[in-house]
Chains A and B, each alone.
Chain A
Amino acid sequence: MEYSIVPAREIFRHFSVLSIGIFYLTALISVGIFAYGVWLRVAKYRGGRAVAQHGLTWARVRETALVVLSHSKLRKRNALAGWAHVLIFFGFLTLLAGTITIWIDHDVLGLFGIHFWKGVFYLWFSATLDLMGLALLVGLAIMAARRWSTQPQFDYSRADRKAGTYSRLGYVRDDTIFLAILFLIGATGFVTEALRILADRPDFEVWSFVGWQLANGLSAVGLSRADANQLHFYCWWLHAILVFTFIAYIPYSKAIHILVDSANLLVRDPVAGKRLPAISEDVAGLGYQRLEDLTWKDRLNLDACTKCGRCHVACPARAGGWQLSPRDVILDLREQAEAKLGGGSLLHETSLAHDGSAGGGLIKPEVLWACTTCMACMEACPVGIEHVPLIVQMRRNLVEQGVMEPNLQKTLEKIGSSGNSFGEAAQNRAKWTQALPFRIKDARKEPVEYLWFVGDYASFDPGLQEITRSVARILHRTGVDFGILYEAEQNSGNDVRRVGEEGLFQMLIENNLAALGQARFKEIITTDPHTYNTLKFEYPEFGGEYRVRHYTELLAELIESGRIPISHPLDAIATYHDPCNLSRYTEVTDAPRAIMQAIGIKLIEMPRNRSNSFCCGAGGGRIWMASPGSEERPSHQRMREALELPDVKYFVVACPKDVVMFREAAAAVQGAGHIQVKEMIELVEMAISETVPALS
């Protein structure tokens, strides 16, 4: 027969015209249901507020394609799940491409009597699809095993509600159906292929190696060619119906992430969280109070979540037993959006009891106030969901309503009246300099090369002032030309903005820009990574464009160039805690490590390091709040992480707030007595002591 010479196969093998008709009709219905679901979603996004800028450029398209194809974000936090997704992703994509190829051959070019799906192309096509189909099944099997067999079990529980007051069975079902239907599609595809091969046995089908072997297997267990021929028809239809069901199901399930997440990655904000959105003119209040306040991009963000739970695991507030889980914030908002605006999943979370404390806003205040804005969630999210800006937008509403804990209110009032979180008079800001044997230049009065933005904690906290003086001493001894703003410097506003007090933030910016305007300098250096972030990413929007660096960056440079000679290398073992604002926000992770290496420290990394660092719990204004979580504090958990490492003498930090947080942790955590919490500068000073001659 001809097809034994030119390899190919019949699409509708032994089909009656009626069967073919039913097939096309079913296909049409399925695609129709799919299109309607997609349209509902698009309508939902189109109803959102406009976005000032979404940064969609060709570079972004390239970058996104790279992220999607390499799965870099998916593999980052969980290599096994990431690689399993690689198998599923490319398996699915190849099968989709294969189906489209056959459709073009059969239903487009076929109409003109042109066929290319045959011969050598057909053989390679068969082999490739079998290989990738197998990849899909293996990937799905790994995912299924991960989800249902490994311990601890995947955590579906909400951080803000008691078990029994809600049910997430809908989510479990959605996840199960998605996995199962894909697996069944793959499996029935192979069985259909095997039955056809068994019935017809064309020699060239050895290229469909999975189907071929499966046919051998079926034959071995006694399936006759005649029975296979019969069964093929039913199995073919089963496969087809599964595929059509899946296509129709996509926009009403987590499968939509195939489309939504690519779009979401395309429009993500490269400085999301680092630079918070300005107050929108078209929002009734100052922040987000109602669903209508969300932009189309926010709505897309909500739909992008696949409930993978990486943010849930990474979140320090969740780990510390506060009511926040970044995942739940997103899912909660999504449920609200789907209920009110339509265009969503068939399966939902159900509330079994009324949550009395929900209040008027979108998310409970206790949940929103738990956030340290450490950005671990956004760093972990493989699909570019921007949790932190959303949370801050909702906090802005809480601030406007005056809903906050008394400690925070007191602090904001102090900052409002005195310009610093300690409520100290401005004249006292530079009091720490009085114990220095030299005078620091007033950058407002004489030009300097480096303007040092000291920050509130480094200036006022009595436990930190010696460290602050250390920085001054080393810069002075090295002959660095630097100055400060004295009483004109105010809180930089980084955490004030993250609390959601935008007006106060703008007031602080205005005052600081006025002070910076009086000063002459080439570059700003900061001690506080929080200050660093806002100066670097947020001040430019208000007209303050400066070159800004963290002091560790300057120090690393000075050590590298030999201007700070290290004569007393420390010869000690230490671990380093990356401050959130230095690692995830401003992406400085090499300079502190270079300094440690130069001063003779043997660095042992904690499991969570660099951009995967675990927040001390003080960010986003949390340092001004007292409400406790139900689990061990994040800083204590972090100290335990360091205790797991052998022989660590120093727990090194590069942020004033970290010194406060971790000195407390070292004193409180059992067995941490031998660990000394050191600000980087203290170690540097030890390593150069007696060597650099004082200049004055």
Chain B
Amino acid sequence: MLAGMDSFQATIEADGRIEPRDAMPEGYRKTLIRQIAQHAHSEIIGMQPEGNWISRAPSLRRKAILMAKVQDEAGHGLYLYAAAETLGVDRADLLDLLHSGKQKYSSIFNYPTLTWADIGAIGWLVDGAAIVNQVPLCRCSYGPYARAMVRVCKEESFHQRQGFEILHTLCNGTEAQKAMAQDALNRWWWPSLMMFGPPDASSTHSEQSMAWGIKRHSNDELRQRFVDMTVPQADVLGIRVPDEGLTCDEETGHYSFTEPDFTELYEVVKGNGPCNQQRLAHRVKAHEDGAWVREAAAAYAEKQAAKAQGSAA
């Protein structure tokens, strides 16, 4: 039997899973808390741009699907916060870090959903990119996170299909609907490419995360995978990816594409995106408006416990 850090290193080298009670380096724990919390925050902030269209969904069937999807995201948030809690932090504290701006969420949700087609584009592109990012996380070295991701990925793949289906219907609809779909692709393409993070050369956390088996592929590899997967789907839809430099290498089957303007990503991360303030303000308001409800629930539980104790005594 290996003790402590030797055992940790041996597990990582054997591609095994680290579990909550196992010894782990402080840096590993901190990295995971940061990553899982940001992932959870992304799920719950991501409810807003899509929730924005529940009341206006153009058919009752679409309304039901969208409600179920946003509800799934709340569920993902719940079990990701639970996974983070296995590392010795509290959901309430993580939410405070989100609300005070000390922890981030995916920058993609700082873009607005302006038409119904954006709901299709989010499913197809944003959830599509999330899947490319997250499928490797099902093999992440930290057990609770890896297991949570298995379930999340199953649901995300359903979300991605429904997004594609929304766009497919629009692209086979009226001229106005098709134009709506193209406009959505134009606006969501570049932000989606940026979801994979900065280019490998300037990615700050990547190397250590790879060594620890938290990250399995580089940002640029994943971005390439996403482009290769998505461009043929755009062809099926009959809409055009807004990249004049896009070409397919017949030999390798890979697309070469124009790099997104990462200065925009850095600006949005800093807080200068179209919806940063709106998203955070909405979240903080929901939290503050709900404070009296949470306090009441706690007070009620205390009273009930006291009563139970009184009657037991």
Is this pair of chains taken from one and the same complex? Answer: no
